[in-house]
Chains A and B, each alone.
Chain A
Amino acid sequence: MVDESVSYRETKTFWRWPSRSLLPRPAKRAAEDARKPDSIANVRAAAFAMLIAFAIFLVFESEGLRHFTRDLPGNHITDVLVSAADRWHALMQRLGPARVQPAVREVFDRIREIHW
């Protein structure tokens, strides 16, 4: 008697419909954070992290800050911001962080421009 419940996967054919991924199944998802979240503490941590990211940008992307302040509509407030951004950029150039971006960029451009 033929077992008609045999599915097509269990035949001895070489070719089968490729429905699986090339890799084994990924591991199960990590369990959700089981602790009751202290949202306020996490919000503070996230905000603090974002401020640190802003500070890193201020230090190493002072040239970008100059451009950004000049993109703002012209008024007395933005005049102050532009002037402050110019002074900050000059300071960062003297201290060194402003020179990191051109150096990184140069290395990256050299890699980009390699030809076969």
Chain B
Amino acid sequence: MLFPTPEFAIFFFAVFVAAWALRTLDEPRKALLLIASYFFYGYWDWRFTALLAVSSAFNYVAGLFIAGTKGEVTRKRIVGVAVAANLSLLGVFKYYNFFMDSLTDLTVALGIQRDMPFLEIILPIGISFFTFQGISYVVDVYRGHIKPVRSPLDLFLYISFFPQLVAGPIVRASHFLPQLTRRPELTRTAVVFGFLLILNGMFKKVVVAHYIAAGLVDPAFADPTQTSSVDLIAAHYAYAVQVYCDFSAYSDIAIGTAALLGYRFRKNFDRPLGATSLAQLWQRWHISLSTWLRDYLYRALRGDKRDGGARMYRNMFLTMLLGGLWHGANWTFVLWGAIHGLGLTVERFIKTHGHAWRTSRLRLSTVGAAAVTETATPSAAANRTAAIVGWLITFHLFTLAAVFFRSPQLDTALRYFAAMFSFQGGPHLLTPFLFALTAGAVAVQFLPGNKIERFAAKAGDWPAWTLGLMLGAGLLLIEMIGPQGVAPFIYYQF
């Protein structure tokens, strides 16, 4: 079931009441949450609950085997097999037909007409997320970061917990499993925090992302050659805002509902559109994915060797390339990942060698007797200018790369750029309302990152009826100005 629907609201209220009623009974409470999670997943397609169960059982057994094996070589083999099995599941369901399609492109380009053996495979929703959680669990057990869980209930619940099951955040076993062993508590701050995140997520998804998409982005990308340059320029900024609002909205609602059930998830988006460098952007954008890629993919590529030089840049580039592929079975996602990978490696190269160059200049300037006494720090104005320039470069790199992310095919993106940089025509799709939504969403990125937490702490003393009014009035207003019907979140397709 989709988050912003009456069905989910009724479902969540029932689960909330029942779970807290069982607060002092640990196993029954976790069993209830597990059943609720499988019900939630089965609502999409009951056939995939079996897949989810098999994946969970496999990772549970693998964790026990890894921990119970003494020899390092054998342990390494077991974790290798476990990771390969998880990736194979993902590969078959998500990428098999994509590779067949790519082979078709290749054969057609070579002038060969040949039908590839496509398979009628249905992509299980959320597979990218729960397989990554399974991998994170077995690898963390192997590395000794966590002990394997003895209770299958805990492991099954970790992998299938409904707030984050279908579109993240990718929750780490080391962060979530210890919470399952403790009795949950609910502070008033957590209640307000949960409500505020739900409201924030609903507004971003139902109002901002929807109207930007429907009014500007979708028409512009549908036929860029028939759209004015002003609209195309606006739409490419707006798409970055749309994708941020859509992705982060799901995370907000997931984190908010988990908070109401007494579980803390980490922040998944931290004002990424305000980043002043690509490295900073990836520390703020889809944090659970970028840290997963760093800890499991980048580290695997690096191995035990010391990080540095061409090898480091290669590993960084490959990590981003595969991160792009994770987003979808399409070469445009791979290209998007490659752009970010290239950008990060260039940025890192400049940063590292810029530092070395400045340090060497400093040494040269002290040849002779005179010691360097000039240690003046850059002025605040210089810092501010540098940050603004950094933001402009980073923001535009992100928005331009996002055109590939949005385009179903490469030639769509190229046609988009060609039309955008033709600088012809005035605004037609872009209205003051859409401009305000886009600009407003970017401006909000520069507010303090903990404003919701601070407000929640202040509002912790509010009486329940006030909280109810805030929640009800907020959701009502969003419902009134939102569209009829609900579009699924973009991340559902991953």
A and B in contact, CB less than 8 Å: yes
Whole-angstrom distance from the CB of B201 to the nearest CB of chain A? Answer: 15
Q: Are A23 and B20 in touch, CB under 8 angstroms?
A: no
Within 8 Å by CB of A46, from B6, B16, B382, B454, lies B16
A64 to B13, CA, bound (A): 19
Q: What CA separation (Å) do A9 and B358 show in the bound complex?
A: 9
| Contact yes or no, A23 B448, CB < 8 A | yes
Do A33 and B476 have beta carbons less than 8 Å apart?
A: no
Q: Is the CB of A6 within 8 A of B431?
A: no
Contacts of B458 in A (CB 8 A): 30
A95 in the interface (beta carbon within 8 A): no
Whether the Cβ atoms of A52 and B363 lie closer than 8 Å is no
Chain B residues near A27: list those with CB within 8 A: 448, 450, 454
A4 to B372, CA, bound (A): 10
Asked if A75 is an interface residue, CB under 8 A from chain B, the answer is: no
B191 & A42 in contact (Cβ 8 Å cutoff): yes
Chain B proximity of A103: nearest CB distance (Å) = 9
B473 within 8 A of A: yes
Which residues of chain B from 185 to 201 have a CB within 8 Å of any chain A CB? 185-191, 194-195
A49:B453 contact, CB within 8 angstroms? no
Total cross-chain contacts (CB, 8 A): 204
B120: interface (CB < 8 Å): no
Main secondary structure of the interface of B (DSSP, over half): helix
A112 and B433 in contact, given A46-B186, A49-B195, A105-B481 (Cβ under 8 angstroms): yes
Contact in complex: A8, B449 (CB < 8 Å): no
Once the chains are docked, how many angstroms separate the CA of A20 from the CA of B215? 35
Instruction: Considering the complex, give the chain B residue whose CB is closest to the CB of A35.
Output: B187
Using a CB–CB cutoff of 8 Å, the interface residues on chain B facing chain A are: 6, 9, 13, 16-17, 20, 23, 184-191, 194-195, 211, 215, 260, 262, 274, 276-277, 280, 350-351, 354-355, 358-359, 361-363, 366, 371-372, 374-378, 382-384, 386-391, 427, 430-433, 446, 448-450, 453-454, 457-458, 460, 463-465, 467-469, 471-473, 475-477, 479-481
Could you tell me which A residues sit within 8 Å of B by CB distance? 1-4, 6, 8-23, 26-27, 29-33, 37, 39-40, 42-57, 60-61, 64, 68, 100-101, 104-105, 108, 111-116
